[in-house]
Amino acid sequence: METDHPEDQMDPSPLQPTGFDAAFSAVFAIVAVLILVGIVSSVVVAVRRRTVLRDAGLDPLTADAQVLAQMHHRLDLAPDRSVERSAESRLAEAVDLHQRGLITADELGEMRQRILGEV
């Protein structure tokens, strides 16, 4: 049974928003807000990082290289722990290793020559 009323057979207007259009607009707005929040937070972190590095006397663009160079310089100036042990204590340790049977007489002789050669 067909109706003669034209409003029953009308197609929706392409200018009228549909449910899909509303959902798309909502998702688009949420994504845009998230992107904006990400950009703003990145800028805030960058500004805070720059301020902290400047206050510490570092160039923000080369801070990592400056810190590595400072650490390298400090390690170069630090006393070498292996040099602190005297030849006498190292020789005594070698003799102890030989007496406990952990090294042979030949190995003890090689260690002695190496230790005395470093003095």
Q: Is the pLDDT of residue 9 over 60?
A: no
Tell the burial category of 97 from Cβ atoms under 10 Å away from its Cβ (0-12, 13-18, 19+): middle
- pLDDT for the residue 6: 53
pLDDT digits (tens, 9 = 90+) for 38-94: 999 999 999 999 999 899 888 888 888 888 888 777 766 555 555 567 888 889 989
Predicted local confidence at residue 19, as pLDDT: 74
- Which pLDDT band, with edges at 50, 70 and 90, does 1 fall under? very low
pLDDT at site 50? 92
For 21-39, how does the pLDDT look when each residue is reduced to its tens digit (9 = 90+)?
Answer: 888 999 999 999 999 999 9
Give me the pLDDT at residue 81, please. 57
Backbone angle region of 10, left / alpha / beta, with phi > 0 → left and psi within -120 to 50 → alpha: beta
Residue 7 confidence (pLDDT)? 54
Task: DSSP letter for 10, please.
Answer: P
pLDDT at 73: 72
